[in-house]
Every structure is written in structure tokens, then in C-alpha cells.
Structure 1
Amino acid sequence: MTLFKTILICCMLLLTGCASQYSITESEVEDYLNNEMHYEVSQGNQIFGLQLKLNDMEVELGHKPNTISVTALTEMGVKNPFKSISADMEITFEAEPWYDVESKSIFLKKLDLVSVKSEPADIEQMLKPITPQLMIFLRTFLESQPVYVLDTNDSNQALMASMTKAIEVQKGKIVIKF
């Protein structure tokens, strides 16, 4: 660690009242997800197919220990020769967050499906056969994309990113500890 960096860290700690953590709020995570994470998949052909698009995500932090709840509003369409289906779905996952030091990012692991609601409601029974495939798509995507990236162009977040040792989810926030 360079002398300049050491002095900068000491000054920052003194200026912040010897703070040893930094918090990211639910709304900051939601803003990041809705502005930076885009997911759209189209599988199949002209006769059989599945289209899926995530539109809006809501986040709840810490309703269970060290857990993030993500609710995604999803447009889905299924093509088949007998009856095509179009539905708006609300899919809720719970997951554990983890911090990747190299990318300065928070990712999700151990995604569990909590609930699936659809509009119109009677479509839920028709969707049951494709729900496992839908979950594989969403789980793979959500576990491979960061849910938040510390902004290294922002001097405060860059400093926090360089010192982060661990994260913890508390009610309404992710606490970055260093």
C-alpha cells in the first residue's frame, strides 16, 4: 500500500468519525438493477417458442438474515400450434449476496423461487409445465450478473471498494464492512 493511499484512508476515517462500514440502500440496488440489468430471451421457432422479458425489479433487503428478495415483473409469451399464451408475471426470488473483490460487485447465490403470480390468474396452471425452464433461465441470468457495482469513478465508493472485507444484509440496506 502506498504512503498516499494510507494517508488518504486515515484522513477518510477521521473525517467520517472513524466509520468502519458503508451502506447501500434498497432504492440504490433497485435503481442499479432497473437501469443496468436487462434481460430478454427468445427460444424456439415460428411454431413453438418462449419469449421472456424482465421489466421492473423491486428489492427487499434483510427481511430474513443475510437475504435479498428480488421481485421481477416479467412479460412472457409462449407460442404453440394449439394456443399461444401471453402473461404478465410477478416472480419473487430470495438469495444470499456475496461480494467479488476483483469486480467490486455484489452478486447473488443460492437463488430460491418464493412465488410466481400471473395476470390473468388462470394462466398459472397452464404455465406450470414451463416453469422449470423459466426458472433455469432466470436463475442463470441473475446469478451471473451483479446486482450492484461500486462506482470506482466516485471517490467515496472507490475508497470503500479498495477496503471492503465483507458484506452483510441488514433490514433495508447492505452494509459493506472494511
Structure 2
Amino acid sequence: MKTLKLIFINALLLLTGCASQYSITENEIENYLNKEMHFEVKQGNQIIGINLVLNDMQVSLGDKPNTMGLTATTLVRIRNPLMPISAELKTTFEAQPWYNSETKSIYLRNLDLVNVSANPADLEQALTAITPQVMSFLRGFLESQPVYTLDMNDSNQALMAKMTKELAVQKGKLVVKF
């Protein structure tokens, strides 16, 4: 009976060509990232240290072939007795999304840093010394965490998770194909 049901579902999907792919929009990925992804680093002590909090991510899909753009806003606080610094660091990466069939999730690889800016702008020079460390933290975190996980409680996404063969980046969306 289970085999018959699976055959029926496959035949139905083949007959309805529009059901051969599932799209995930930029907004869906942004909502997932801002809800599910939490990143905070604290190093140092009460007098000297650094605190990084990732609090906002924006996604851009398809501006370049097979590329996802990700802009992350990170609050940076540097404690020191001479000149404490508090700034917002905006980093933009480009990466290739890929689908992991074991975890039913989409991850990023080959992250390239495209742009870094600070607010207030006059702190960019002061933040230059810590920028490589911040980028290392962010790159490691973003490459190891899923940017989207298919919802196994949603019947469409659960079916896509089982049958996904390819992930394509199109303007404004990721297309999960089977």
C-alpha cells in the first residue's frame, strides 16, 4: 500500500510539471536567519574585551550566477580603559548555497568578503585591527550553520527534502529541484 501511494505521488508530480520544483524566496531565508541564527562572541574581561552580536541579516539571490549575497549587521563593543568603542559593522559576503540531504538544510560555502563598513564611519580606521578576527568568526559561523532548513511538518517541503537533486539560484529565490 505504501509503495502504491509513493508511485501515485511520483506520477502526480510528473504529470504536474509545475510541481517539479519548490522555491524559497529571499524573504523566507531572511526570516529564517533572523529567527533561527544567533551569534554572539564575548572575549576578554571586565576591563579589556570585545563583544560581537549579529543582529540582522539581509539576503540577495541571483545578482550573480549561482550566488547568494548575505549582508550581516554586527554590533561591536570594545572595552578598554583608554577609548571604549561601540559601532555597527556591516559586512557583505557572497557565497554558493548547497543542499545537504542528510540535514535537509541549505548551507553556504566559499564565502567571499565583498564589503565592510562601520557606523559611525569615522570608526572604520579604529576597527581595522579587529576586522580580520571578526571576519574569521563570521565566516566560520556562516559556513557551519544552515541558512535554511526545510520544514518536515510542511508536506510540500517534506516531499522536496526526500527528492531534492539540485539547488539553483535565480533572481530573488532559491529553487529546489528534483
Q: Where on the TM-score scale, by shorter chain, does this alignment land: which range?
A: over 0.9
Q: Would the aligned equivalents of 1:95 and 1:111 in 2 still touch at CA under 8 Å?
A: yes
TM-score (norm 2): 0.94
2:127 maps to 127
2:90 maps to 90
Q: Does 1:5 align with 2:3?
A: no
1:139 maps to 139
Moved more, 76-85 or 145-154: 76-85
Provide the C-alpha distance between the structure 1 equivalents of 2:121 and 2:57, rounded to a whole number of angstroms: 20
Provide the C-alpha distance between the structure 2 equivalents of 1:22 and 1:13, rounded to a whole number of angstroms: 14
- SS of residue paired to 2:134: helix
Provide the C-alpha distance between the structure 1 equivalents of 2:3 and 2:105, rounded to a whole number of angstroms: 24
Q: Would the aligned equivalents of 1:9 and 1:159 in 2 still touch at CA under 8 Å?
A: no
- What is the aligned-residue RMSD (CA, Å)? 1.4
Q: Would the aligned equivalents of 2:13 and 2:20 in 1 still touch at CA under 8 Å?
A: no
Query: Alpha-carbon deviations, 1:22-78, whole Å to 9, x = none?
Result: 111111111111111111111111222111111111100010010100111211101
Provide the C-alpha distance between the structure 2 equivalents of 1:77 and 1:177, rounded to a whole number of angstroms: 43
Provide the C-alpha distance between the structure 2 equivalents of 1:127 and 1:12, rounded to a whole number of angstroms: 53
Q: Percent identity?
A: 63
Q: Would the aligned equivalents of 2:48 and 2:80 in 1 still touch at CA under 8 Å?
A: yes
Provide the C-alpha distance between the structure 1 equivalents of 2:173 and 2:159, rounded to a whole number of angstroms: 19
Aligned-residue offset at 1:18: 5.2
Q: Would the aligned equivalents of 1:26 and 1:60 in 2 still touch at CA under 8 Å?
A: yes
Give unpaired runs (5+ residues) of structure 2: none
Aligned-residue offset at 1:3: 3.2
Q: Would the aligned equivalents of 2:57 and 2:72 in 1 still touch at CA under 8 Å?
A: yes
- SS of residue paired to 2:121: coil
Query: Alpha-carbon deviations, 1:140-172, whole Å to 9, x = none?
Result: 111111000111100011011111001011111
Aligned-residue offset at 1:90: 1.4
Provide the C-alpha distance between the structure 2 equivalents of 1:102 and 1:47, rounded to a whole number of angstroms: 44
1:66 maps to 66
Provide the C-alpha distance between the structure 1 equivalents of 2:3 and 2:131, rounded to a whole number of angstroms: 53
Aligned-residue offset at 1:13: 3.9
